[in-house]
Amino acid sequence: MKLTLKIWRQKNAQDKGGIVDYPIDGIEPDMSFLEMLDVLNEQLINKGEEPVAFDHDCREGICGMCSLFINGEAHGPDRGVTTCQLHMRMFKDGDTIFIEPFRAKAFPVIKDLVVDRSSFDRIQHAGGFISVNTSGNTIDANTIPVPKVDADKSFDAAACIGCGACVATCKNSSAMLFVGAKVSQYALLPQGKVEATERVLNMVHQMDLEGFGNCTNTGACEVECPKGISLENIARMNREYLAASLKG
């Protein structure tokens, strides 16, 4: 395959940045999108140019490190996958592909396609846990049965990989799907109920401090989420938040 890549290049956080064109040839449909970028970088290094910086690690869709806005979509045109699982067979010979970083006020660019998502970490420092010491002196795991339906829903929320596609794709740069998933995972389990009030208030407070926008229910986040995190989680967080506010 022969392609034209239009890639966002930005030296560092202070640099203004801009799109640069890179023609590339010899791309095979079996390559993953990131392997295609590996090929480009190898060529750039051999030509004495600086390779394109992009985040990636596990390359199997679970670590959440890879990002990229490809042709205007977070993680590109395929559904239910991260960029590292996107394969070149989704594109046609001769295509032009725009590659940009995830863009949001709370995700400043570090270099080229690499962004800083530590705002997600800080939201979780504010309450993304159950306050239990790791002494091992807890009750037997089977002492409290959890209905399978609740356990499964909690798991579905916990499957979030924290990649930030929801924020990148939202016109308001809202992090409600991410925070909703975290709040839901614990709210659905008996172990998480004890601190439920404080948790939702603290996490939402931190989310606002980080500069994420509000939710206007367009649902784009759910469509672009590589892990299929449901909008229900936002609704559940709103219910939890309302109940907590009334209590508080």
Give min distance, CB of 131 to another protein, in A. Answer: 6
Cβ proximity to another protein, 8 vs 120, nearer residue: 120
Cβ proximity to another protein, 172 vs 230, nearer residue: 230
Give min distance, CB of 172 to another protein, in A. Answer: 23
Cβ proximity to another protein, 135 vs 217, nearer residue: 135
Give min distance, CB of 36 to another protein, in A. Answer: 8
Give min distance, CB of 123 to another protein, in A. Answer: 9
In sequence order, what DSSP letters do the residues of the chain get, joined into one string?
--EEEEEEE-SSTTS--EEEEEEE----TTSBHHHHHHHHHHHHHHTTPPPPP---SSSSS-S-----EETTEET-SSSS--GGG-BGGGS-TT-EEEEE----TTS-EEETTEE--HHHHHHHHTT-S----TTS-S--TTSS---HHHHHHHHHHHT-----HHHHH-TT-B-HHHHHHHHHHHHTSHHHHTTHHHHHHHHHHHHHHTT-B---S--HHHHH-TT---THHHHHHHHHHHHHHHH-
Give min distance, CB of 217 to another protein, in A. Answer: 27
Give min distance, CB of 128 to another protein, in A. Answer: 5
Cβ proximity to another protein, 145 vs 248, nearer residue: 145
Angle made by CA atoms 71, 208, 75, in degrees to the nearest 5: 20
Cβ proximity to another protein, 38 vs 95, nearer residue: 38
Cβ proximity to another protein, 62 vs 235, nearer residue: 62
